[in-house]
Amino acid sequence: MKLTADFLVIGTGIAGLSYALKVAEKGSVLLVTKRQIDFTATRLAQGGIAAVSSVDGDFTSHAEDTMVAGADLSDPEIVDLAIGMGPKVIEDLLNWGVEFSRNDQNKYDLAREGGHSHRRIFHAKDATGREIERALVAAVDKHPSIQILENHIAIDLITEVINQQQTDEKRCLGAYVLDIEAQEVITIGAHFTVLATGGAGKVYLFTCNPDVATGDGVAIAWRAGAAVANMEFMQFHPTTLYHPNAKSFLISEAVRGEGAILRRSDGTAFMADQHPLKDLAPRDIVARAIDHQMKKYGDDCVFLDITHKGAEYIQERFPTIYETCLGYGIDMTTEPIPVVPAAHYICGGVQVDCHGESGVNNLFAIGECACTGLHGANRLASNSLLEGVAFAELAAQTSLKRLASSQVEFPSIAPWDSGNATDSDEEVIVAHNWEEIRRCMWSYVGIVRTTKRLNRALNRIQLIQKEIIEYYWDFHITSDLIELRNIATVAELIVKSALQRKESRGLHFTLDFPERDDLNCKHDTIIPGASPAPKQ
């Protein structure tokens, strides 16, 4: 089966849906998503979207907070660009039907989160992502130029080599996509392909990401020849619910923003000794502090205490968190919440320019799968949703201009070739390798690292890669096999990036180089893209 569209968008979170809505007036759009359209990390976002609320707002302090959180690795020009788009981003979301929380004066109830010097977080109580996803899905559903393919997963990008003045460059022509239910590979040709696939938290054993966060965009872009950057900077959210029956439910940064205090099991508050902002310190500092406390005192978790704010306030401000915790027998109005860090957000990704375009022509990456330069070594809380809409706008502007100036026919694309592949009766191999990679990454490439641990992880992951390659070409592909292939690729890229950085900065902390090194360090750790591997 073959389909064509002017714009192929892979991923249906805030970035992908925003881009689709911005280009749909000028061309046809195919939206591809692995599950249902609203099964995304965006939907799980609790805190909100950081944005200066008007053109008269304090852009400078937001930029300064972003640079500080990013440990001075954020690109100042990109920071100014994205933050300057704050009012436009909020206007777009309001026009699409998003309803943010207001106070008694009917003004927007701006919140404050860790690392922020001021209240600038637009939110919908503690379910901001759910509200944003609701509004964007509704807008997309009624647009006649947008076709949605649910339960479809991208396998690989389709590229061709173009020769320009004796310099070979790649151009993206679309993607091969698996219809998960029909087990049929679809060939999709597109003038522009946009990766908005989200994060890679499932590379780690413990994560607050949804099951779809397997680093697909990063993996397929790298295999197609796009460079990746700063993959060592995996953000571990400091506070996810610790409970044997909870699947890493996130306790929003906003809880600490409203006064919650981190305590040991004996009730001792410990963040005052770690950072001037105490419990509102940037996430990397808080996560390491919690990790240290747990290891020092042999505790399984620490506790987040907001009981002093009173039951009525807590239930009104954090209804989702309150009800979820109560479902696990924890009343956060009368007792502290047990929490632990978990893999949350990758600040690296597909290396893109200020328009969101990768090194492969007509291939864009936006949202968490991209490395734009905004986050540096550590993302400032709630800057991710801002980045998603801002770079959707920038990528849309560029692709629309290019489409208008160069109307061309869709090139001839070869259909998917499954060769001599057969059905597999050894799915246990996929499950076993999946588990082993995730445990390996958690044990050796986690919050605190060493060169020895990183090399051990690299050796093991490369051995698993060989098994995956053999299995991949011998058997018909499934969504599980595609995801396994992708998390193995992303895991290897993370480890190789971490080995390049001979210092501790932001989210990358190594005992072998515990200090920040501004003189000798690499500003960005870049791994050039690879060509698709030949069949075995």
Helices (H), 45-201: 59-69, 76-84, 86-95, 128-141
Are 206 and 442 in contact by the 8 Å Cβ rule? The answer is yes
Between CA 414 and CA 418, with CA 415 as vertex, the angle to 5 degrees is 120
Which among 16, 10, 8 has a CA at the least distance from the CA of 385?
A: 16
* Paired tokens of 57: 């707002």
CA distances to 1, 437, 526 from 203, rounded to whole Å, are: 32, 7, 20
Helix (H, G, I), strand (E, B) or coil at 199: coil
* Paired tokens of 96: 């699409």
| Residue 112 designated active-site | no
CA atoms of 44 and 362, how far apart (whole Å): 30
Compute φ and ψ for 295, nearest 5 degrees.
Answer: -75, -40
CA atoms of 161 and 496, how far apart (whole Å): 27
Q: Which amino acid is at 281?
A: A
Which among 43, 49, 47, 13 has a CA at the least distance from the CA of 31?
A: 13
* Paired tokens of 419: 């060769």
CA atoms of 118 and 112, how far apart (whole Å): 6
Residue found by looking up tokens 């002017």 in the block: 6
The alpha carbon of 188 is separated from its chain's Cα centroid by a whole number of angstroms, namely 24
CA atoms of 163 and 499, how far apart (whole Å): 34
> Would you state the pLDDT for residue 240?
94
Residues 256-274 pLDDT 10s:
989 999 999 999 999 999 9
Q: Is the dihedral of CA 70, 74, 79, 82 positive or negative?
A: negative
Residue 389 CB: number of other CB atoms within 10 A? 30
Residue found by looking up tokens 């006064």 in the block: 259
> Would you state the pLDDT for residue 165?
57
Q: Which amino acid is at 331?
A: D
Number of residues in the chain: 536
In order of their start, the domains of the chain are: 2-150+347-405 (3.50.50.60), 240-342 (3.90.700.10), 427-524 (1.20.58.100)
Q: Which of 263, 283, 379, 460 is catalytic?
A: 283
* Sequence-distant (≥ 6) Cβ neighbours of residue 174 within 8 angstroms: 4, 8, 157, 158, 187, 188, 189, 190, 193, 413
> Would you state the pLDDT for residue 169?
82
pLDDT tens digits for the chain (536 residues)?
Answer: 899 999 999 999 999 999 999 999 999 999 999 999 999 999 989 889 999 977 557 899 999 999 999 999 999 999 999 999 999 999 999 999 999 999 988 899 999 888 899 999 999 998 999 999 999 999 999 999 999 999 999 999 999 876 565 567 899 999 999 999 999 999 999 999 999 999 999 999 889 899 999 999 999 999 999 999 999 999 998 999 999 888 778 898 889 989 999 999 999 999 999 999 999 988 888 999 999 999 899 998 999 999 999 999 999 999 999 999 999 999 999 999 999 999 999 999 999 999 999 999 999 999 999 999 999 999 998 999 999 999 999 999 999 999 988 766 777 888 888 776 777 666 777 888 999 999 999 999 999 999 999 999 999 999 999 888 877 777 788 999 999 999 999 999 999 999 999 999 999 999 999 999 999 888 999 999 986 544 43
**DSSP code for 277:** T
Residues 99-146 pLDDT 10s:
999 998 889 999 988 889 999 999 999 899 999 999 999 999 999 999
CA atoms of 228 and 230, how far apart (whole Å): 7
Residues forming beta bridges with residue 32, ordered by sequence position: 10, 149
273, with CB counted inside 10 A (0-12, 13-18, 19+), is exposed
